[in-house]
Structure 1
Amino acid sequence: MTTDSVNVPPRNTRPPLAQAALGVGVVVQDGEGRILLGRHHGGTWELPGGKVDPTHESVAAAAARELREETGLGVPVDAVTVFAMVHDVVGGINRISMGALVSVEAADPQVTEPHLIAAWRWTDPEDLPGPLFDPSAQILAVWRPDLGIGHPPAHHLRIAPPRDPGPTENS
């Protein structure tokens, strides 16, 4: 054993070199088939969502947490269907965006982060506003390929068919 290997932690406990960012975008569909989009102060429209916390949080738990934090809408984690992974590269960093789907019968989203989002709006998927935030466009294109949504190139992997998990109550 060399002197150098004495100070090196075992391979399974060493953190990997950071080279990716992991987030989730939540397609929230209401009883009329509309989806929820937020108008970001930067000028784009986006799905609720954000990063998956590095606390052993699952993607579904992150989706439910981000939805609650950004809109005030509460859904149980088991009402979240993670349906796809989208992968692109921005600035030399792999960006992994997970697509999640939840359904609510009716809901009144609140602007809880006014420094980021100016307004939430229920939108017919066939009449999407623009421009869309790139990761949101990529997730929506996997969710509904029939919509022909333009977006930057990305790889995608369908994890599960998107399904209607049924209405949930907001809290």
Structure 2
Amino acid sequence: MTTDGQDTATRNTRPPLAQAAFGVGVIVRDGQGRILLGRHRDGTWELPGGKIDPTHESVAAAAARELREETGVDVPESAVSVFAMVHDVVGGINRISMGALVTVESAVAEVTEPHLMSTWRWSDVEALPGALFHPSAQILAAWRPDLGIAHPPAHHLPIAAP
């Protein structure tokens, strides 16, 4: 800021007006091919995941952190494969959800946030419980379109490994 009150920040250093939420949903697959889903206190079933911190945290790092914080399942960032970006709009805000996949031989998921989640359970992908959280349904549909999972419209961008 100059002495006359002019903003001297350049276009490269001024933050844009916020208009999006940026998160990650983690499909955790076990050695039997099941996936981990949690029952949220509002009644929906969802993948582990959450917001990506605005601290230069990578999507893979956020996925590993959220998985650990929400379930106690600890995986290294290098075990996370980011496979898709899903974009929809809710209440005038762009919602961008990254789909990530982690495979573990087995794991015991703990309810570490009982104010949010009532349980975690391993589910057969062919017999998912009803009432999925919309971003989780969108990520699961991007991962396995053959499952015919109903979800609100969303744009889907597959991400290829480099």
Distance 2:130 2:40 in 1: 11
Question: Partner residue of 1:25?
Answer: 25
**Which amino acid letter does the alignment assign opposite residue 32 of structure 2?**
E
Q: 1:100 to 1:4 in 2, by over 3 A?
A: farther
**Please, what TM-score do these two structures have when normalized by structure 2?**
0.95
CA distance in 2, matches of 1:17, 1:5: 20
Who is 1:92 aligned against? 92
Instruction: Flag structure 1 segments of 5+ consecutive residues without an equivalent.
Output: 162-171
Select between 125-134 and 5-14 the one with higher mean Cα deviation.
Answer: 5-14
- Which residue matches 1:151? 151
**Pairing 1:4-15 to 2, within 5 Å after superposition:** 6-15=6-15
Letter matched to residue 145 of structure 2: P
Structure 2 matches for 1:65-80, cutoff 5 A? 65-80=65-80
Residue correspondence of structure 1 range 46-57 to structure 2 within 5 A: 46-57=46-57
CA drift of 1:17 comes to 0.5
TM-score, length-normalised on structure 1? 0.90
Count, aligned residues:
159
CA distance in 2, matches of 1:4, 1:122: 61
Q: What does the per-residue CA deviation read over 1:73-115, in whole Å, with 9 as the maximum and x for residues that have no partner?
A: 0000010000000000000000000000000001000000000
- Kindly indicate which of the two structures has a greater share of residues assigned to helix: 1
Aligned residue type for 1:126: E
For 1:51-89, what per-residue CA distance to the aligned partner results, in whole angstroms no more than 9, with x for missing partners?
Answer: 000000000000000000000000000100000000000
Percent identity, please. Answer: 78
**Secondary structure in 2 matching 1:126:** coil
CA RMSD of aligned residues (A): 1.3
* Letter matched to residue 33 of structure 2: G
Match of 2:133 in 1: 133
Runs of 4+ deviating beyond 3 Å: 3-6
C-alpha separation between the residues in 1 aligned to 2:7 and 2:89?
A: 34
Q: By how many angstroms is 1:7 displaced?
A: 2.5
After TM superposition, the structure 1 stretch with the greater mean CA deviation from structure 2, 30-39 or 4-13, is 4-13
The amino acid that maps onto 1:50 is G
Mapped to 2, the partners of 1:57 and 1:122 lie a distance apart of 28
